[in-house]
């Protein structure tokens, strides 16, 4: 539910965001395909409580607060608070537009999950670094330089990404 609330924050649920939602849902819970529509319906019911556009964020935050504190986790979806926050960061960045309202929601979630602010900031910086490395790699692969010239740079970027992924896995564990 937290993931859907996040992607609904800006009022537009994109195809990329739903793709991330589906991928993470499948990775987290084997029952996800059977529960997806229920999650979305429950979230939409909460979101529809907004009376005015300025209530939109507050209504979503209320729904997220309820989901974090009152909805029991199934035995199939035990997810640590840090992993949940990381997944939310991945979704927030999946459309390559990390909006301030998404950041506000993630900071609220980190506080609610009792995750230290330094951990949140490290996660946030890590995902932004990974995105920059991805963008640089894509750029390198589209230049008209011969692959033999850029091969060393591509390998170095891949190594950096692997080191960063290992460090975030250790942080989340």
- pLDDT, one tens digit per residue, over 84-115 is 999 999 888 877 778 899 999 999 999 999 99
Q: Which two tokens stand for residue 111?
A: 């506080």
- E strands along the chain, which residues? none
Burial 40-50 (b: 16+ CB within 10 A, else e): bebbeebbeee
- Give residue-wise pLDDT tens across range 29-81: 888 888 899 989 999 999 999 999 889 999 999 999 999 888 765 544 568 89
- What is the distance, to the nearest Å, from the Cα of residue 99 to the centroid of all Cα atoms in its chain? 12
Domain ranges of the chain: 1-115, 116-173
Structure pTM? 0.84
């Amino acid at each position: 539910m937290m993931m859907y609330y996040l992607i609904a924050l800006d009022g537009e649920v994109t195809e990329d965001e739903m793709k991330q939602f589906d991928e993470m849902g499948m990775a987290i819970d084997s029952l996800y395909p059977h529960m997806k529509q229920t999650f979305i319906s429950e979230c939409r019911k909460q979101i529809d409580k907004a009376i005015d556009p300025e209530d939109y964020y507050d209504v979503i935050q209320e729904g997220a607060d309820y989901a974090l504190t009152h909805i029991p986790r199934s035995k199939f979806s035990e997810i640590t608070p840090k992993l949940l926050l990381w997944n939310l960061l991945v979704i927030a960045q999946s459309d390559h537009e990390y909006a301030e309202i998404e950041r506000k929601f993630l900071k609220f979630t980190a506080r609610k999950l009792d995750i230290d602010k330094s951990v949140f900031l490290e996660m946030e910086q890590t995902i932004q670094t990974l995105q920059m490395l991805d963008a640089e790699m894509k750029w390198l692969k589209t230049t008209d330089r011969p692959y033999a010239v850029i091969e060393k740079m591509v390998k170095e970027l891949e190594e950096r990404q692997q080191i960063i992924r290992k460090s975030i896995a250790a942080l989340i564990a």
